[in-house]
């Protein structure tokens, strides 16, 4: 398969953008990526989004956004895989370029979630779970993660405070990311005193929703040259893998088998081992997911993901730096956009643009985006050359 | 780009399937296609669907359906382009196979629309239009088509009854399609007396919604051999093109420029002229769309698409056979599934499986699937070898 490179990146800050419409935030990220790539047009647009039909009464988001940015007479389509929609859109764009069907594409992840509040958004997010077998029984998406976390603590003997380092690291890193939603350092005490959402998940275990958009421009790798201060960034591996929709259908609900499988395929494709990953943007929608992702992707033994946090190995100077721009926890989680934010952030690391949270000498980064409670997992390994 | 072949097809009947869930109808079509292809597994699943978040409270439909049919540990994703979702999913699957990323894929278009009724479905369908600039002003999706039809009649001097042949042909052909929603011959008198929906669009100008699913199995063309009675069917051309989202933004609202452009690219790609198309499954969501599609795709002069119906050239024995299995009008229009139904029907024609409505010696067929009021148009040319 022809290799694909990431030529440009763009993003909006994540927040409550009540003064900007869905198309405006999508357009802002798209134009930023085009400008960063130094091009003024592309052959196609792939949009990752989960909630626009429910929150914005808007479907056909590919054409909707193409129209806004003036990309008529070209291909535009929306790709959806719940919270994994962003990386799913990147993967579709990558395959289109790799197939030789198009020569360049814009991939935009966009979500506007804060115009409605409370029950509406919780119900909308629950569409990522199984409507018949999970949601109909009364479980929300937070509830599912709470059940998993509870079981994990019971099974492996961890207490709630042991998860604090994940949130503390994410908040500390977000302090240096101007696009992050939360700029607020937290402590173990603050983490423990935070209000309960669904036992044992409290407010600081959970990532905040938000309005935001991120975008990348992709082209065949052979069209990109590495220039001083701006290495060529290649998508060295990409894999999308599914598990069962419902958590209760899994033999082991504490093992993210789709995360394991998609990371494994990426390692094989890129010809590397987990130890060679310099920076890992994982899908920390809830603190428990950080632990499970680290274990599934080969960075910790079963039940020991938490230890990496306690031993301070997840910080930018640690052995497995995660959430270096704030992660879902503090950068924010505009669901369908998150996967593209992760890619943008890995590119920033490989370009050495991260200042205080730069991982020294980062050459290989992995981003992992998850739809549902581990139901759809997309991994991408990016390499700078 | 590596050529892709259609190895198997499957479909459910279209109707009010209140006794079957969304996953059941999707699975029924998927298993039918796998059986027809003579394979029991594929590498990936691409699902076309528009309304499941709104009508079924279900997102992540790729993984949802993959789980149901037992396709774990593989790629699954949903693709959405309003009523063009089905063909959009086919195109994504085709690019994945062509890129060499996977070796086989199942493409399923699925929609369940009749569990809710009335305003809910009308509001859900209106998400195909521009929420800010069209729907917010009070126009429904039928209303938009009514405005276009009114203007067309005024501009080119046609009267309402002149559109009758489109609906009569579709209903006549559907009589011989066991999967069609409507099995009912109609006449000009019946057409003219039908109740008004939005002037001048009456009930028999409009396609009925429905529950249904259609599926195809695709593989690299080199893996398929032509066998007696079962020719090899190749996707000879594919193009996806956008126009503006809102109808009022177009220089000429009576010309489907995206249909023109996507058909043109397909003709070039396949190296053929419109006259060489033996059968054309167009997107007759409303009778006016048949006229506009025929004109945009080079089968009639501007304003003269209606004439092809009046001269009986659209029947299976005519010069430009359309809606040979009933079209959206009488086969039914389960929106996100329609594009895959069209592909399945072209394959049936190229395999000479259409009995009473068989187009004699059909070798080249085109399917055209439209999202919104001409906002996203996907064309595919299939050739039997």
> What string of DSSP letters covers A321-366?
-B-TT-IIIII---GGGHHHHHHHHHHHHHTT--GGGPPTT--EEE
Which among A1, A71, A244 has the least Cβ separation from residue B100? A1
What is the spatial distance between Cα A217 and Cα A8, in angstroms, rounded to a whole number?
5
What is the spatial distance between Cα B71 and Cα B49, in angstroms, rounded to a whole number?
18
Residue with tokens 């085009």: A34
pLDDT tens per residue across span B232-256: 999 999 999 999 999 999 999 999 9
Strands A212-220 and A4-11: antiparallel
Chain A residues touching residue B244 (CB < 8 angstroms): 67, 72
> Where does A214-353 have alpha helices with state H?
257-270, 287-296, 305-310, 338-350
Sequence-ordered list of residues with C-beta below 8 angstroms from that of A118, at least 6 positions apart, any chain: none
Exposure string (b/e) for B25-63, b if CB count within 10 Å is 16 or more?
Answer: bbbbbbebbbebbeeeebbbbbbbbbbbbbbbbbbbbbb
Residue tagged active-site, from A17, A171, A283, A333: A333
In angstroms, the separation between the Cα of residue B378 and the nearest Cα of chain A is: 9
Beta bridge partners of residue B381, listed in sequence order: B237, B366
Q: Which of A242, A372, A380 to mutate to test the interface with B (most CBs of B within 10 A)?
A: A242
In angstroms, the separation between the Cα of residue B331 and the nearest Cα of chain A is: 24
Residues in chain B: 385
Residue tagged active-site, from B323, B333, B354, B380: B333
What is the spatial distance between Cα A307 and Cα A291, in angstroms, rounded to a whole number?
9
Q: Which chain A residues in 365-384 lie under 8 Å from chain B, judged by CB atoms? A: 371-372, 375-376
Triad A75, A77, A81: Cα angle to 5°: 150
Phi, psi of B366 (to 5 degrees): -125, 140
Cβ–Cβ contact B289 with A under 8 A? no
pLDDT tens per residue across span A227-241: 777 899 999 999 999
Three-class SS of residue A27?
helix
pLDDT of residue A118: 64
What is the spatial distance between Cα B10 and Cα B35, in angstroms, rounded to a whole number?
8
Q: Which chain B residues in 116-145 lie under 8 Å from chain A, judged by CB atoms? A: 123-124, 126-128, 130-132, 135
Q: Which of A22, A23, A80 to mutate to test the interface with B (most CBs of B within 10 A)?
A: A80
Structure token pair of residue A136: 């109909």
CB contact under 8 Å between B376 and A81, yes or no, is: no
pLDDT of residue A214: 99
Task: Profile chain B (385 residues) by mean pLDDT over runs of 10 residues.
Answer: 94 97 98 97 97 95 98 97 98 95 95 83 93 93 96 98 98 98 98 97 98 98 85 97 96 97 98 98 98 98 98 98 98 98 98 97 98 97 96
* Spans in chain A with pLDDT lower than 50: none
Residue B120, class by beta-carbon neighbours within 10 Å (0-12 exposed, 13-18 middle, 19+ buried)?
A: middle
CB contact under 8 Å between A241 and B75, yes or no, is: yes
Sequence-ordered list of residues with C-beta below 8 angstroms from that of A42, at least 6 positions apart, any chain: A34, A71, A74, A104, A105, A106, A217
ipTM for the predicted complex comes to 0.97
pLDDT of residue B117: 66
CB contact under 8 Å between B77 and A1, yes or no, is: no
Which among A60, A243, A372 has the least Cβ separation from residue B72? A243
To the nearest 10°, report the CA torsion of A133, A134, A135, A141: -150
Chain A residues touching residue B80 (CB < 8 angstroms): 59-62, 77-80
pLDDT of residue A228: 78
pLDDT tens per residue across span B93-152: 999 999 988 999 999 999 999 987 666 898 999 999 999 999 999 999 999 999 999 999
Three-class SS of residue A160?
helix
What is the spatial distance between Cα B90 and Cα B93, in angstroms, rounded to a whole number?
5
What is the spatial distance between Cα B261 and Cα A63, in angstroms, rounded to a whole number?
15
Verify whether residue B176 is a known catalytic residue: no
Structure token pair of residue B43: 């590498």
Phi, psi of A124 (to 5 degrees): -65, -45
Residue A290, class by beta-carbon neighbours within 10 Å (0-12 exposed, 13-18 middle, 19+ buried)?
A: buried
CB contact under 8 Å between B371 and A63, yes or no, is: yes
What is the spatial distance between Cα A23 and Cα A29, in angstroms, rounded to a whole number?
10
Verify whether residue A83 is a known catalytic residue: yes
pLDDT of residue A225: 85
Phi, psi of A53 (to 5 degrees): -65, -35
Q: Which chain A residues in 41-100 lie under 8 Å from chain B, judged by CB atoms? A: 44, 50-51, 53-54, 56-64, 66-67, 71-82, 84, 88, 91-92, 95-96, 98-100
Chain A residue nearest residue B120, CA to CA:
A57
Quickly count: other Cβ atoms within 10 Å of residue A159's Cβ: 10
């Amino acid at each position: 398969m022809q290799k694909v490179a990431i030529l440009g990146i763009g993003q909006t800050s994540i927040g409550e953008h009540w003064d900007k419409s869905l198309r405006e935030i999508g357009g802002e990220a798209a134009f930023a990526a085009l400008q960063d790539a130094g091009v003024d047009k592309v052959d196609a647009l792939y949009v990752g989004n989960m909630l626009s039909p429910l929150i914005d009464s808007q479907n056909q988001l590919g054409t909707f956004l193409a129209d806004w940015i003036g990309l008529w007479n070209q291909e535009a389509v929306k790709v959806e895989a719940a919270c994994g929609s962003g990386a799913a859109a990147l993967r579709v764009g990558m395959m289109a370029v790799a197939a030789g069907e198009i020569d360049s594409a814009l991939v935009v992840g966009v979500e506007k979630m804060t115009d409605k509040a409370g029950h509406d958004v919780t119900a909308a997010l629950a569409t990522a779970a199984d409507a018949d077998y999970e949601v109909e029984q009364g479980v929300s998406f937070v509830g599912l993660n709470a059940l998993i976390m509870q079981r994990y603590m019971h099974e492996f003997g961890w207490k709630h405070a042991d998860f604090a380092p994940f949130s503390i690291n994410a908040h500390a890193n977000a302090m240096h990311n101007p696009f992050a939603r939360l700029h607020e350092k937290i402590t173990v005490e603050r983490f423990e005193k935070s209000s309960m959402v669904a036992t044992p998940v409290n407010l600081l275990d959970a990532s905040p929703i938000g309005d935001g958009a991120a975008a990348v421009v992709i082209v065949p790798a052979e069209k990109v040259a590495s220039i001083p201060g701006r290495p060529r960034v290649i998508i060295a591996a990409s894999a999308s893998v599914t598990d069962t929709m419902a958590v209760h259908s899994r033999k082991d609900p504490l093992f993210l088998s789709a995360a394991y499988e998609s990371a494994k395929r990426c390692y094989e494709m890129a010809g590397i081992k987990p130890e060679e990953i310099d920076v890992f943007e994982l899908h920390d929608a809830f603190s428990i997911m950080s632990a499970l992702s680290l274990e599934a992707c080969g960075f910790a033994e079963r039940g020991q993901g938490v230890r990496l946090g306690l031993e301070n190995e997840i910080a930018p100077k640690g052995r497995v730096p995660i959430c270096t721009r704030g992660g879902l926890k503090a950068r924010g989680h505009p669901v369908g956009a998150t996967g593209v934010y992760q890619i943008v952030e890995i590119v920033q690391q490989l370009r050495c643009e991260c200042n205080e949270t730069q991982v020294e000498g980062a050459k290989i980064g992995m981003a992992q985006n998850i739809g549902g409670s581990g139901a759809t997992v997309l991994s991408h390994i990016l390499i700078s050359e």
